Chain A
């Protein structure tokens, strides 16, 4: 359930003073593909932090009792699979979500979502299948899926066309018909060749309360009220200055980058990554946002993070970074927020940064 969110003080935005805590990972400029962090997540209680990399390694960090330092657990440096669930997916799996019943979980790939029982490894139940009979007709794929945090029969999945479908497994065993369909009507004034691509949802996350969900598309984060399908209740611009660069970003494939997003424990703030090792936080109550950077230069113990600014055009002020000098190879795709406290984990390519609020 929603935690106290950092001792009652408003979380996120400018009310907190984020400080560097730790960084894990090699310092080399040359990063091996296998070392790239591909996922970061806190455990439900927040005692553990798991990271996975493209080489298939899982590292779990545990918090020490007195000192708020995360150190890797010795017993699990390279996880070997406990159970192997083989050959259920033809395409790349984009999501895994454990159900609130703690008995089942779902796995989603581009065209299908399967339901598994944790104890049964040799078969799964297909609950969503959007593969057309004729693949030539395929124009849309599944991009992310997640179970509702409390209602174990409810799940959502997003698509490459910017739509989100909510399915209730009680209504039909095969969720080929959705219970709810979320889509924001396109803004004709901002339409471009790239409208579809930038509308593709790269991540969907329910709020801890279960009342909202958040979607990440290429340029923005949107918060949806589950009771309103017609449009999101909030839209936060992550890096709108990239809108005029979409052609280049299409050419170099950056436009296909899949950024994730996350909620803080009290659902009062949301966080997502950007380029140049920047990440963004939005405070939903004060409507303030901040851009911070995960870099080795700013990595002195308990050093406060200074808000960063990107100059979109015109005269660049001191300390601003111009759009043209952004490093698009330094992308923060994965971030995680501790379920209760103001501690965040930010994956910058092969480095894992931990930041926490000064008050912690």
Chain B
């Protein structure tokens, strides 16, 4: 039993040379590919999740956004990150240490059944979150697939693409643009609450562990020690504690750099054609066309109808496998 969807996509997304390898991969994943009616395959699900995760981080930590800071947007992006983090935690706790030799179906299969497509349903996970190793594994789609398929983006991520690079330099030690952007929200109308929150802010970060997390409040304090607005009531507080709590279990290195083949970024229709910069740049038809182009490409066989129900990232995967 093979995935009809993958096969169809494979038919027009890949050149002749790549087809055979993909078939091998397909067979290897046979146990965990769900039929098209059940939704995207595990591979594309994980890939999509990783992409969205990265996009979300970049949105939050990008240098000064071109648009006005919006609390609603921040909250929604944070919720997205939290959900994905929660899901990853549960997958990490369900899975034993990821043995290279074990058949891929087992560790992924169980977590796949638990997690997707609705990541708001926590899987029953009695075991605690393991150390960094399993977490790294579940954060990186490339490593997940490494054992069963060497065609899928496994080149060592020696040089992360620029978008990934944005985050760590942005965090410590100087005040990053996100919190300053949120400061702007507060700056509209400084209220007396900002002083109360200032005290809360100084308390909170100290309780957090982790490199970037601990660094940021210090960085902020260094940046503008005397500015009461810095100890922003709600947005600043919100941003600091959320992000540090979020990053406690993992460093950004784990998330962004470990084993991610950055060629994904080149093919990722979800990033702008420029690939690296100005994620917040105004949308133009061209930009969107370029981003949409990879998965709107004409089928090899003109008679083959374009399947709009394939997720965008199925197409990324197919392009990657073919490359």
**Are A329 and B241 in contact (CB-based, < 8 A)?**
no
Give residues 222-238 of B contacting A (CB, 8 Å): 233-235, 237-238
Q: Is A141 an interface residue (CB 8 A)?
A: yes
Chain A interface: which of B64-72, B88-96, B122-130, B213-221? B64-72
List, in ascending order, chain A residues with CB within 8 A of B238's CB.
135-136, 138
Which of chain B's residues have a CB closer than 8 A to the CB of A90?
A: 185-186, 188-189, 191, 193, 233-234
Question: Of B3-11, B15-23, B268-276, which stretch is located at the interface?
Answer: B268-276
CB of B76 within 8 A of chain A?
A: yes
- The reply to whether the CB of A207 lies closer than 8 angstroms to some CB of chain B is no
Is there a chain A Cβ closer than 8 Å to B323's Cβ? Answer: no
Closest A residue to B76 by beta carbon equals A197
Interface pick from B144-152, B170-178, B280-288:
B280-288
With A135-B237, A256-B72 as contacts: A250 and B48 at CB distance below 8 Å: no
Give the number of chain A interface residues (Cβ < 8 Å): 47
Question: Residue-by-residue, is B247-267 near A (CB-CB < 8 Å gives 1, otherwise 0)?
Answer: 000000000000000000000
A126-140: CB near B (< 8 Å → 1, else 0) gives 000001001110111
**Residue-by-residue, is A270-281 near B (CB-CB < 8 Å gives 1, otherwise 0)?**
000000000000
Could you say which residues of chain A place their CB within 8 Å of the CB of B307?
313
- Chain A residues near B185 (CB, 8 Å)? 90-92
Least CB distance, B20 to chain A, in whole angstroms? 29
Q: Interface of chain A, helix or strand or loop or mixed?
A: loop
* Chain B residues with CB below 8 A from A241, complex form: 308
Q: Does A285 count as interface, using CB distance less than 8 angstroms?
A: no
Answer yes or no: B73 CB below 8 A from chain A CBs: yes
For the complex, what is the distance from the CA of A138 to the CA of B82, rounded to whole Å? 12
Is B75 located at the chain interface by the 8 A CB criterion? yes
A326 in contact with B189 (CB, 8 Å): no
Query: Which among A87, A251, A312 is the interface contact of B270 at CB below 8 angstroms?
Result: A251
Contacting pair A313 B306 (CB below 8 A): yes
Q: In the assembled complex, how far is the CB of residue B36 from the closest CB belonging to chain A, in whole angstroms?
A: 13
Q: Which chain A residues lie closer than 8 Å to B282 at the CB level?
A: 329
Asked if A136 and B288 sit within 8 Å, CB to CB, the answer is no
Q: Which residues of A contact B211 (CB under 8 A)?
A: none
Contact across chains for A141 and B312 when beta carbons are under 8 A apart: no
Instruction: Give Cα distance in the complex from A188 to B39, angstroms.
Output: 11
Q: Are A247 and B312 in contact (CB under 8 A)?
A: yes
What's the A-B contact tally at a CB cutoff of 8 Å?
150
> Which residues of chain A from 135 to 152 have any CB-CB distance to chain B below 8 Å in the complex?
135-136, 138-141, 143
A324 touches B (CB below 8 Å): yes
Contact string against A for B residues 291-321, beta-carbon threshold 8 Å, 1 for contact and 0 otherwise: 1110010000000011111111100000000
A191 contacts across to B, CB distance below 8 A: 117-118
B306-A196 in contact (CB<8A): no
Most chain-A CB neighbours within 10 Å: which of B70, B197, B284?
B70
Q: Is the C-beta of A185 less than 8 angstroms from some C-beta in chain B?
A: no
Decide if A247 touches B234 in the complex (CB within 8 Å): no
Flag the segment in B26-34, B49-57, B103-111, B134-142 that touches A: B49-57
Contact B289 A135 (CB under 8 A): no
Q: Is B279 close to A, CB under 8 A?
A: yes
For the complex formed, measure the closest distance between the CB of A319 and the CB atoms of chain B, giving whole angstroms: 19
Contacts of B51 in A (CB 8 A): 247
Q: How far is the CA of A244 from the CA of B309 in the complex (A)?
A: 7
Do B271 and A329 touch across chains, with their CB atoms under 8 A apart? no
Residue B245 is within 8 A (CB to CB) of chain A in the complex: yes
In the complex, the answer to whether B283 meets A252 with C-beta atoms within 8 Å is: yes
Residues of B within 8 A of A193 (CB): 48-49, 52, 80, 83-84, 119
Asked whether A135 and B285 contact (CB < 8 A) given A196-B79, A312-B308, the answer is no
B52 engages A247 (CB within 8 Å):
yes
Residue of B nearest to A251 (CB): B270
**B52 contacts A110, C-beta separation under 8 Å:** no
Tell whether B242 is near chain A: CB-to-CB under 8 Å: yes
Interface residues as binary, A75-99 with B (CB distance below 8 Å gives 1, 0 otherwise): 0000000000001111110000000
Q: A91-B71, A328-B285 are in contact. Are A139 and B270 (CB under 8 A)?
A: no
Complex Cα distance, B70 from A15, in Å, reads 41
A196 vs chain B, min Cβ distance (A)? 6
Known contacts A135-B237, A193-B48, A250-B55; is A92 also within 8 Å of B79 by CB? no
Contact A324 B296 (CB under 8 A): yes
A349 CB to nearest chain B CB (Å): 11
- Interface residue from A88, A200, A245, A327 paired with B72 (Cβ < 8 Å): A200
Query: Does A160 belong to the interface (CB within 8 Å)?
Result: yes
- Shortest distance from the beta carbon of B281 to any chain A beta carbon, whole Å: 8
Q: Which residue of A lies closest to B186 (CB)?
A: A90
Q: Interface code A238-251, partner B: CB below 8 Å = 1, 0 otherwise? A: 00010011011011
A253 contacts chain B at the CB level, 8 A cutoff: yes
Is the Cβ of A250 less than 8 Å from the Cβ of B292? no
Q: Given that A92-B68, A256-B70 are known contacts, is A188 also in contact with B76, CB under 8 Å in the complex?
A: no
Is residue A219 contacting chain B, with contact meaning CB distance below 8 A? Answer: no
Asked if A192 is an interface residue, CB under 8 A from chain B, the answer is: yes
Contact with B along A302-329 (1 / 0, CB 8 A): 0000000000111100000001111111
Contacts A134-B241, A325-B289, A329-B282 given; indicate if A139 touches B308 (C-beta within 8 A): no
Chain A residues with CB under 8 Å of B279's CB are 251-252
Q: Provide the bound-state CA to CA distance between A256 and B72, in Å.
A: 9
Contact B189 A89 (CB under 8 A): yes
The one of A88, A110, A192 in contact with B117, judged by C-beta atoms closer than 8 angstroms, is A192
A340 within 8 Å of B (CB atoms): no
Q: Which residues does chain A contribute within 8 Å of B310, judged by CB atoms?
A: 244
27 A-B pairs in the complex with CB atoms less than 8 angstroms apart: A89-B188, A90-B191, A90-B233, A92-B71, A92-B185, A111-B234, A138-B234, A138-B238, A193-B83, A193-B119, A196-B79, A241-B308, A244-B310, A244-B312, A247-B48, A251-B271, A251-B279, A253-B283, A254-B283, A256-B73, A313-B306, A314-B305, A314-B308, A323-B292, A325-B285, A325-B289, A327-B284
New A-B pairs, 4, CB < 8 Å, besides A139-B75, A252-B279, A328-B285: A91-B188, A134-B200, A248-B312, A256-B70
